[in-house]
């Protein structure tokens, strides 16, 4: 509980109407896109780094937990008040401060929506590559905190690869700057990239400098259907081995294809075991040849059907199955748990087989979407949280799934984060010494453990 006098102090910093505590406000900041919800003790909405600094000084003095929250679209529960405290939201810090086409970078506040930045930089024929599925809603502060990825990751990488500098308010209120506008920077420890992916446990991000790349002038889109997952996986390897790096390389397994078909999302051959959606981007002159090569690889490796789009409308049609997938799956059962265990690319078919086996073993319905080009799987567990018995089996399946992913040299999470969703599994991936180093880093930044406590560490 927060005392009236402290609430008054917070109000005097951010403005009367920007500290919220009505039941409606507390209810609507109790969640993100993960399952578990925790009602916070308040919501504070600052406008400047200076205000954040002053809020943090009070929080640190009074040992009040602060949980930063962007748009609340993360699916690992990294922006909920698990141990109570105040949610800090960034609705008022939503300005693009600068687009610098000459230095190929942009400076933004944390509350800027990813797609809004994309749209602005496109006016300069530039691109900000990270494109999480929630890009029309999620904010860049959240993207940095979670090191968000997206379908374009196979060619372009993830948020961390585009991060040049940050302004960060530490839990004690001190403001630090890391990195800058230079593309190269090897001075000291790389605090910029340390804070990226720290899930709001080290500091509050108040300004972000990102690198931009030239906007590709064209793209080619193909879809291939396979009657064997291995054939699809071999196709993925052969495309990459040939030197072509697709911007997108998505795989949909049989379970999800059937759900999409039943949902009326698209039609596929009844023999379809896997579908690949492949997109290459770049100069239009090169794309024609690349498209043809990919078509050839698919056919040579047993694709039963290959479609190559010849227009933007046709490309959109090919994307339809992938775009419908999540909605179709989500509407089947009351809840859908989106996992993101990730393995080295060549182990992908093995991991998919493991998931099929686990679904069978624990009598669960699990489909697989995968960013196949980077081995990032999204097993979709269709379930019902109210069914305690089934949830017990889901937990066991998850346990086995992570065990398998780690044993293949993979990771618990490719792009969604650990948060409160996977904290209990973290010792599977890290040795006690590695975890102790992380805890040590946390102590240096946040000795009183007031920033997003209860999330992953």
Partner 1 sequence: MNLENVEKQFNQCNKCGLCLATCPVCKELLLEKYTPRGKILLARYYCRGGLDLSARCRDIFAECLLCGACSATCPSGVDLTGVFVAMREELAANKGLHPKLKSAVESLIKNHNISDEDNAERGEWRDDIRNMPDHMYERDRAEVVYFVGCVASFFPMVQEIPRNLVQILDSAGEDFTILAGEEWCCGFPLIGAGAPDRMKELIDHNLEKVKALGAAKIVFSCPSCLRTWKEYYNTDLELFHSTEFIQNLIDKGNISLRNLSVKVTYHDPCDLGRNGRVYEAPRQILKSIPGLTLVELEKNRAQSVCCGGGGNLEMADPELSKKVAQRKIEEIRDTGAEIVVTSCQQCVRTIKGMVRRKKVAIDVIDITGLVKRAIAHG
CB of 103 to partner 1, least distance (A): 29
CB of 184 to partner 1, least distance (A): 36
- Under the rule (CB under 8 A), what is the footprint of partner 1? 20, 22-25, 27-34, 45, 71-73, 75, 89, 91-92, 94, 115, 134, 136-138, 326-327, 330-331, 334-336
Burial string for 423-436 (b: 16+ CB within 10 Å, else e) reads bebbeebeeeeeee
CA 280 to chain centre: 22
Looking at beta carbons only, is 25 or 190 nearer to partner 1? 25
Closest to 146 in 3D by CA, of 32, 29, 37? 32
CB of 74 to partner 1, least distance (A): 10
CB of 113 to partner 1, least distance (A): 8
Query: How far is it between the farthest Cα atoms of the chain?
Result: 72
Tokens representing 228 are: 């064997």
Whether 78 and 455 have beta carbons less than 8 Å apart is answered as yes
CA distance 404 to 421: 18
Looking at beta carbons only, is 213 or 312 nearer to partner 1? 312
Looking at beta carbons only, is 32 or 167 nearer to partner 1? 32
CB of 324 to partner 1, least distance (A): 8
Looking at beta carbons only, is 334 or 447 nearer to partner 1? 334
CB of 69 to partner 1, least distance (A): 9
Looking at beta carbons only, is 137 or 215 nearer to partner 1? 137
Burial string for 76-99 (b: 16+ CB within 10 Å, else e) reads bbbbbbbebbbbbbbebbbebeeb
Looking at beta carbons only, is 49 or 71 nearer to partner 1? 71
Neighbours of 36 (CB within 10 A): 14
Looking at beta carbons only, is 29 or 425 nearer to partner 1? 29
Burial of 409: CB neighbours in 10 Å, binned 0-12, 13-18, 19+: exposed
Neighbours of 447 (CB within 10 A): 11
CB of 373 to partner 1, least distance (A): 23
Q: Which residues contact 393 (CB under 8 A, 6 or more apart)?
A: 362, 363, 364
Phi, psi of 57 (to 5 degrees): -60, -40
């Amino acid at each position: 509980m927060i005392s009236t006098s402290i609430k008054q102090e917070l109000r005097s910093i951010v403005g009367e109407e920007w500290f919220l505590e009505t039941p409606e406000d507390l209810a609507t900041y109790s969640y993100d896109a993960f399952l578990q919800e925790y009602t916070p003790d308040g919501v504070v909405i600052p406008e400047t780094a200076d205000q954040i600094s002053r809020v943090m000084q009070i929080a640190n003095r009074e040992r009040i937990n602060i949980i930063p929250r962007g748009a609340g679209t993360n699916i690992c529960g990294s922006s909920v008040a698990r141990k109570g405290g105040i949610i800090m939201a960034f609705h008022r810090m939503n300005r693009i401060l600068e687009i610098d086409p000459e230095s190929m970078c942009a400076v933004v506040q944390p509350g800027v929506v990813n797609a809004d930045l994309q749209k602005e930089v496109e006016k300069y024929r530039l691109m900000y590559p990270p494109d999480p599925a929630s890009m029309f809603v999620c904010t860049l502060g959240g993207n940095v905190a979670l090191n968000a990825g997206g379908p374009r990751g196979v060619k372009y990488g993830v948020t961390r690869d585009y991060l040049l500098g940050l302004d960060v308010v530490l839990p004690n209120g001190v403001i630090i700057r890391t990195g800058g506008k230079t593309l190269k920077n090897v001075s000291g420890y790389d605090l910029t990239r340390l804070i990226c992916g720290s899930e709001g446990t080290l500091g509050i991000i108040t300004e972000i400098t990102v690198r931009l790349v030239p906007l590709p002038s064209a793209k080619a889109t193909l879809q291939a259907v396979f009657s064997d997952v291995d054939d699809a996986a071999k196709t993925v390897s052969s495309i990459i081995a040939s030197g072509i790096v697709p911007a997108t390389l998505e795989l949909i397994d049989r379970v999800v294809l059937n759900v999409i078909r039943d949902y009326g999302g698209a039609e596929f051959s009844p023999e379809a075991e896997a579908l690949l959606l492949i997109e290459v981007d770049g100069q239009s002159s090169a794309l024609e040849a690349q498209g043809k090569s990919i078509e050839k690889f698919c056919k040579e490796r047993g694709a039963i059907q290959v479609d190559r789009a010849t227009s933007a409308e046709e490309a959109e049609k090919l994307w339809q199955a992938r775009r419908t997938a999540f909605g179709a799956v989500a509407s089947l059962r009351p809840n859908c748990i989106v996992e993101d265990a990730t393995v080295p690319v060549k182990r992908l078919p093995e991991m998919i087989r493991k998931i099929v086996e686990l679904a069978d073993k624990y009598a669960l319905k699990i489909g697989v979407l995968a960013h196949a080009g980077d081995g990032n799987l999204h097993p979709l567990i269709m379930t019902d949280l109210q069914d305690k018995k089934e949830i017990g089996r889901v937990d066991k399946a998850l346990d086995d799934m992570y065990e398998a992913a780690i044993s293949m040299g993979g990771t618990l999470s490719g792009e969604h984060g650990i948060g409160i969703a996977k904290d209990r599994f973290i010792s599977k991936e890290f040795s006690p010494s590695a975890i102790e180093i992380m805890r040590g880093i946390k102590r240096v930044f946040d000795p009183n453990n007031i920033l997003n406590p209860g999330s992953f560490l």
